[in-house]
Amino acid sequence: MIEIKNIVKQFGDRVILNDISAVMEPGKCNLIIGTSGSGKTVLTKCMVGLFKPDSGQIIYDGADMFAMDNDTRKQLRQQIGMLFQGTALFDSMTVEQNVLFPLDMFTRWTKAEKMHRVDEVLDRVNLKDAHTRFPSEISGGMKKRVGIARSIVLNPKYLFCDEPNSGLDPQTSMVIDKLIKEITDEYKITTIVITHDMNSVMEIGDHIVYLFNGQKQWEGTNKDIIFSKDKLLNDFIFASEFLQDAKQMRMLEAKDDLPNKKSLIEKSI
C-alpha cells in the first residue's frame, strides 16, 4: 500500500500539486488520470522518489519514503517495477538480455537461477519463444510485454506503468490491459497506472484518482464513474457522443432498464 498524504509540490511560483492525498491499494490497479498539465507525472515522480515534495508524505507500507536513510530508500526502490511509456528497451540487447539486466544489476544469483527467472517471466507474458530477438524485430505490443516482463522480474511489490497503451492499436491495448490486471491480481502488487486511455479506465480501474489543475478532483472506482455527477470528470471521461451513449447504456444495464436500453441501441444504429 502507498499512502499519499497532503502532497504539495511547486516549481518557482507555480504550484503543480496542491494538498493531494490518496491511497494506492495493494492487489488493485490504481489509475491516475487527468488532462495534460494536471500533475500526473509530477505526482508519480514524487511517489518513486525522483522529486521531493515541498510538504507532505509518501508512505510505503507505513514507512515515510523521505524519512528513510539512503540505504533503506535504495532497498525500497528495488521493490518498485517500472513500465516506461516508450518501453526503454536497450536496442543493442536481445529480449532475453533486456529482461536479464535488472537481475545482473541487483542480484547475486547464479546464471542458472537468473535464466530460470527470465524464462518464467517471458512465459508469463506469452513471449517464451522471443529470447533471441532484438527490439527492432518485434511489434509494439511485444515490446510492451517485454517491458512488463522486465518490470516484474525482481518480484516487485509496487508496479508503475506510464501510459502502457501509448502507440498501440485498440486490440493490442486490451491485451496489455488484461495482462497488467492479471499480474496485479496474481501477485497482489500495488499497481499504479498513469493513463489517458478511457478503455483502460473502464476496464481495469479498480481505484481511480482524477487530477485537475494540480488538485484531486475525484476519487472512486470504474463503477462509480458511471453514476458520477462531477461535471469536470464527466467532460473528461465522456468527451464524445459515443462515450456519452456508452455511459448511458451502462447506467441502464445497472438499473436493468431494458426498454430504454433498446431505444438507445436503435438510436445508435
- How far the first Cα of the chain sits from its last, in Å, is 45
- Per-residue model confidence (pLDDT) at position 262: 45
Note the pTM of the prediction, 2 decimals: 0.85
98 pLDDT above the threshold of 90 = yes
> Residues with Cβ < 8 Å from 237, sequence gap 6 or more?
198, 201, 225, 243, 247
Which three-class secondary structure state does DSSP give residue 160? strand
pLDDT digits (tens, 9 = 90+) for 116-161: 999 999 999 999 889 999 999 999 999 999 999 999 999 999 999 9
pLDDT digits (tens, 9 = 90+) for 178-211: 999 999 999 999 999 999 888 899 899 999 999 9
Residue type, 133: R
1-79+156-221 placed in CATH 3.40.50.300: yes
CA 12: distance to chain centroid?
29
Calculate ∠ Cα 263-264-269, nearest 5°. Answer: 100
Q: Categorize the per-residue pLDDT at 215 as very low, low, confident or very high, splitting at 50, 70 and 90.
A: very high
Burial-class residue 261 by CB neighbours within 10 Å (0-12, 13-18, 19+).
middle
Q: Where are the domains of the chain?
A: 1-79+156-221, 94-154
C-alpha cell at 207: 481505484
CB 80 within 8 A of CB 158: yes
